[in-house]
Amino acid sequence: MSVWAHYDDDLIFANPVLQDAMAAGDCVRTVFVTASDAGRGMAYSQGRELGILRAYNTMRGQEGFWSENSVTLLSGAELSQFSPDGDPDITIAFLRLPDGNLNGDGFSSTGHATLPKLLDGAIADLSPVTGAPALSSEGLVVSVAELIQAYEPARLLTHVPSDSAEWSAGDHPDHGATGTYARAAWQRAGFPAGQVLYAIGYPSASLPANVGGDVLTQKIAAFRTYAALDPVVTCATDAACLAKPRFGEWLQRNHLRSEAELFPAG
């Protein structure tokens, strides 16, 4: 199971972990917390969602349609779960909270309401862009904890939490907030700390490249499939993806940290 802020965080910062899991025949459950709307509205967000579904088809090596299952959690949160037809071992769930922008202040189109503000206590709750019921900070923790208990994963992967000073500095504020909520959620759910990994985000560009060869080719293939539906990051060839500022560096890297490495006193 993995928990991410935006559509493509998994493809950029987690792979090749996810594509390896699919190749091994493991169940893969992915949860996206924001709508990744970038203040551009639902049409842009929905295009990115379709891109993610197609990217997962690329990773699992099969084309096909996905079916949606709308779920109301015990917390009251509403989410959409998608699985490929005939392949229930793959699930992508969308909570669709507003994108927080690079500065954490959000966008005027969504009232400057953001996940970092919810985490900091600057706002009492946060409404999904779809108009679904708002979630308090506690409600979001409970919701993700409920999904962890329902999915019963063997491993959990998410962003570096915002209170990990070394590797959250310079990252997207939504990443740190999502990692913090995911950490609170797995602790609430009683999930084993030794089975949690955190993917370094934007700061990974400063670390050594460690993804290459056929593994990099596969990673780029999934990203290119997604990017075809996201005009902000679209790249028509592998070389174009690698030449894209920052994205080229991120694609060639996959740096993970354990709970003990990030929080040794915990």
Q: What is the CATH number of the domain that holds 204?
A: 3.40.50.10320
> Is position 265 within any domain?
no
Q: How far apart are CA 197 and CA 2, in angstroms?
A: 9
Please write the tens of the pLDDT for every residue from 163-213.
998 999 999 999 999 999 999 999 999 999 999 999 999 999 999 999 999
Number of domains in the chain: 1
Closest CA to 75 of 156, 150, 177: 150
Q: How far apart are the C-alpha atoms of 17 and 14, rounded to whole Å?
A: 6
Pairing of strands 78-84, 66-72: antiparallel
Omega cis (within 30) before 16? yes
Residue 256 lies in a domain: yes
Task: Say if residue 266's pLDDT is above 80.
Answer: no
Residue 103 lies in a domain: yes
Q: Tell me the pairing of strands 156-159 and 196-199.
A: parallel
DSSP letter, residue 163? T
The mean predicted confidence, pLDDT, of the chain is 97
C-alpha to C-alpha distance for 26 and 20, rounded to whole angstroms: 9
Q: Which of the four pLDDT bands, split at 50, 70 and 90, describes residue 62?
A: very high
The token pair at 147 is 């999904």
Report the pLDDT value the prediction gives residue 165, as an integer from 0 to 100: 86
Smallest Cα–Cα separation from 33: which of 115, 106, 156, 101? 115
- Alpha-carbon distance 58 to 21, whole Å? 14
Over residues 231-248, the pLDDT tens digits come to 999 999 999 999 999 999
Domain membership of residue 19 as a residue range: 2-260
Q: Which H/E stretch holds residue 4? A: strand 2-4
The total number of residues shown for the chain amounts to 266
Domain assignment present for residue 221? The answer is yes
Kindly report the pTM of this predicted structure: 0.97
Interaxial angle between packed helices 42-60 and 213-227, expressed in degrees from 0 to 180 and rounded to the nearest 10: 150
pLDDT digits (tens, 9 = 90+) for 135-168: 999 999 999 999 999 999 999 999 999 999 899 9
pLDDT higher than 90, residue 265 = no
**Across 101-130, average pLDDT:** 98
Q: Is 187 within the bounds of a domain?
A: yes
Q: How far apart are CA 27 and CA 129, in angstroms?
A: 29
Percent of the chain at pLDDT above 90?
98
Residue 266 lies in a domain: no
